[in-house]
Structure formats: C-alpha cells, structure tokens
C-alpha cells in the first residue's frame, strides 16, 4: 500500500502570511496579493519558485523571523506540497472536512457530560453513528441480519414464520 501525504493548504497559507507580514505592512494590499501569488504557485505545483525564499534577501535581518520560518517550513515539506498532483487525483488538500467529520462523529457523540466510555463501547457507538449519519442504517441492518442468520451458532435452528 502506498500512503500519500499532502500538507493542509490552509496551514501552509498561514506560513505564507508570516512571510508576507515581513515584507509588507499589516494594511498593505500587496501582502494579500503576495500570499495569493505564492498560494497559486503552490497549487500549480511550483514548489521551488512559489515560496517566500525568493524574497528573503530583500528584508533586513531583524525583520526576517516570519519569512525564515516560512522558508524553513516550505523547504522542509516540499515533497508534501504537490497540490497539482493531489488535485488531479481528486484528493483533499485541506483537512476541514475531516476535522468537521471527526468533531461531528466523535465530539457530538462521545463528549456528553457524565458519560464514560470503554474502547469497545465507544467504537461500537461511533460505527453506529457513522452508518446512521451516512444514511446507510437500513442497508447495514439488512447485512447484519443476513450475517447473524448465517452465524455458526444459528445453523442448527430452523427459521419459523
């Protein structure tokens, strides 16, 4: 099995903003344009040219902190910034949907005041919540009944109607 890792684009853009704030004042519209240019370059697969690295030399040493952090992060994660390939394959490039699903399934189900869960019980409830949320409960229940009917301990009993 091959596992593909893609950095969350929103997280990467936060680093781009750190770099842009070193190059522009807070209210300068060029900061937003700079971040947009870097982000669009990254989305197109230009991980070498589309980074704050290209502008670092123009910043005085005492103002480079955010820019250097952005350069370090983007350089160190270059292999995980192939958004062009991820988008071409239909992969998500941001984790908002995953985080929202986890919050919906786990948080709203298990984080109820006064409850305590063991691993087996929590897993069973999360599976049930998952099939219910997806609208698959009827299909799952039919599968469950079919499996139960063919279970080893049920083979010696005849169905009566």
Which pLDDT value is given to residue 57? 58
Signed CA dihedral, 107, 110, 112, 116: sign only:
negative
Q: Where are the domains of the chain?
A: 9-88, 96-153
pLDDT tens for each residue of 125-149: 889 988 998 899 999 999 988 888 7
Which helix (H) or strand (E) segment holds residue 109: the answer is: helix 108-110
What the block records as the tokens of 80 is 């995980």
The pLDDT value recorded for residue 154 is 60
CA–CA separation, 51 and 53 (whole Å) = 5
Say how far apart CA 36 and CA 42 lie, in whole Å: 10
CA–CA separation, 23 vs 40, rounded Å?
A: 18
The pLDDT value given to residue 150: 73
pLDDT of residue 153: 64
**How many CB atoms neighbour CB 101 within 10 A?**
13
Share of the chain above pLDDT 70, in %: 86
Number of helices and strands in the chain (H, E)? 8, 0
Apex 89 CA angle, 70 and 5, nearest 5: 40
Q: State the pLDDT at residue 77.
A: 93
| Mean pLDDT to the nearest integer, 23-32 | 90
Considering the entire predicted model, what is its pTM?
A: 0.62
156 or 139, greater pLDDT: 139
pLDDT in tens, 54-107: 555 566 777 778 888 888 999 899 999 999 999 999 999 998 887 888 888 888
Q: What confidence score (pLDDT) does residue 54 get?
A: 56
Average pLDDT of the chain to the nearest whole number: 85
Q: Taking CA 153 as the corner, what is the angle to CA 151 and CA 159, rounded to the nearest 5 degrees?
A: 75
The larger pLDDT score, comparing residue 156 to residue 123, is at 123
CA distances from 51 to 7, 71, 82 (A): 15, 7, 13
């Amino acid at each position: 099995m091959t596992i593909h890792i893609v950095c969350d684009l929103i997280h990467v853009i936060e680093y781009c903003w750190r770099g842009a704030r070193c190059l522009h004042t807070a209210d300068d519209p060029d900061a937003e344009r700079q971040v947009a240019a870097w982000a669009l370059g990254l989305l197109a697969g230009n991980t070498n040219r589309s980074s704050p690295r290209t502008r670092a030399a123009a910043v005085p040493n005492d103002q480079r902190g955010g820019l250097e952090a952005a350069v370090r992060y983007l350089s160190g994660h270059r292999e995980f910034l192939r958004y062009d390939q991820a988008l071409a394959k239909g992969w998500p490039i941001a984790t908002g949907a995953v985080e929202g699903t986890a919050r919906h399934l786990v948080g709203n189900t298990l984080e109820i005041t006064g409850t305590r869960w063991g691993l087996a019980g929590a897993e069973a409830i999360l599976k049930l919540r998952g099939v219910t949320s997806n609208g698959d409960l009827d299909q799952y229940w039919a599968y469950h009944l079919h499996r139960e009917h063919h279970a080893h301990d049920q083979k010696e009993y005849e169905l009566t109607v």
